[in-house]
Structure 1
């Protein structure tokens, strides 16, 4: 799949390849980390690759956060949310790590779009979720972009 996405972004004209990276980075499970790697691999300057990968991922995540928030608001309007056993267990895990912990570590298991939507579904403030998700997206994008750059530089030696 990553090869196909790399080919997709690489087939854009050179001056527009950043847009291909931005688009693929908005896809859940690709995120800023694989988007940055794809950008570096197709020859974008690492700073550009990381920046557009982060922007693509952030745009997608924000759509999920505020979309999930709107859905939750409509679904719970004038209703009491029933706490099922499975939901209670997930809520306890969320309460243990909080928005920062889930945002920073959640991307090791699930895409930012899913973890952010889940946190909003648990009732977390969507602005706080968005803030911590943006920080996480930046950190993961920079980490993987730098690693990709170092890996490519080592391979060229």
Structure 2
């Protein structure tokens, strides 16, 4: 039985190999916008597809960051609309929400942003941070740092593995 995420990754890899060189970074950026693929997965797709590692990493990170910025801006508007609506009723806090809030109080925006990708896609973490009232600029800044960090680390690992295997 096929896995939808692995099918998506293989589809992006095939697309990178099939399109002209000038378009390849755009495909990698689009892959970076997909939750669970993220900038680091997109960089791997690009590198395996034959793109220079730096170009693949930058393209993947940019695609991921653009998607995260859109999510943050939309979540911020939704939060503002919900919190300013007259007669808004507080929803009961779910167990998942309590778990996130405990992590947030323990690690703050920097910690949740930098460690979040180990558990959740950056889009989910960014939306959760924004929904708690963290300013969109702060969320985007820390998510950008996390995306840059994780994309760089994974890119360096992939390049190292390829060099060792060659």
Give the alignment's TM-score, normalised by structure 1: 0.91
Q: Tell me which residue corresponds to 2:102.
A: 92
Q: Which residue, 120, 125, 129 being the options, matches 2:130?
A: 120
Q: Which residue, 15, 23, 46 being the options, matches 2:30?
A: 23
| Stretch of structure 1 that moved more, 120-129 or 132-141 | 120-129
2:103, 2:112 within 8 Å by CA — same for their partners in 1? no
SS of the residue aligned with 2:133? coil
Matching of residues 128-143 of structure 1 within 5 Å? 128-143=138-153
Taking CA–CA contacts closer than 8 Å with sequence separation of 6 or more, which of the two structures ends up with the larger relative contact order? 1
Q: Aligned pair in 2 of structure 1 residues 89, 25: CA closer, same or farther (>3 Å)?
A: closer
Note the alpha carbon deviations across 1:51-84, whole angstroms, 9 max, x for none.
1111000000000011100111111114566263
Q: Tell me which residue corresponds to 1:65.
A: 72
What is the aligned residue count? 156
Give the CA RMSD over aligned residues.
1.6
Q: Tell me which residue corresponds to 1:3.
A: 10
Note the alpha carbon deviations across 1:103-138, whole angstroms, 9 max, x for none.
000001110001000111111111111100000000
2:72, 2:140 within 8 Å by CA — same for their partners in 1? yes
Task: Give, in whole Å, the separation in 2 of the partners of 1:33 and 1:94.
Answer: 24
Q: Does 1:54 align with 2:61?
A: yes
Q: Does 1:104 align with 2:121?
A: no
Q: Tell me which residue corresponds to 2:3.
A: none
| Stretch of structure 1 that moved more, 76-85 or 129-138 | 76-85
Give the alignment's TM-score, normalised by structure 2: 0.87
Q: Aligned pair in 2 of structure 1 residues 122, 130: CA closer, same or farther (>3 Å)?
A: same
Moved over 3 A (4+): 78-81, 87-90
Unmatched runs of 5 consecutive residues or more in structure 2: 1-5
Task: Give, in whole Å, the separation in 1 of the partners of 2:118 and 2:10.
Answer: 21
- Cα drift, residue 88 of structure 1: 4.5
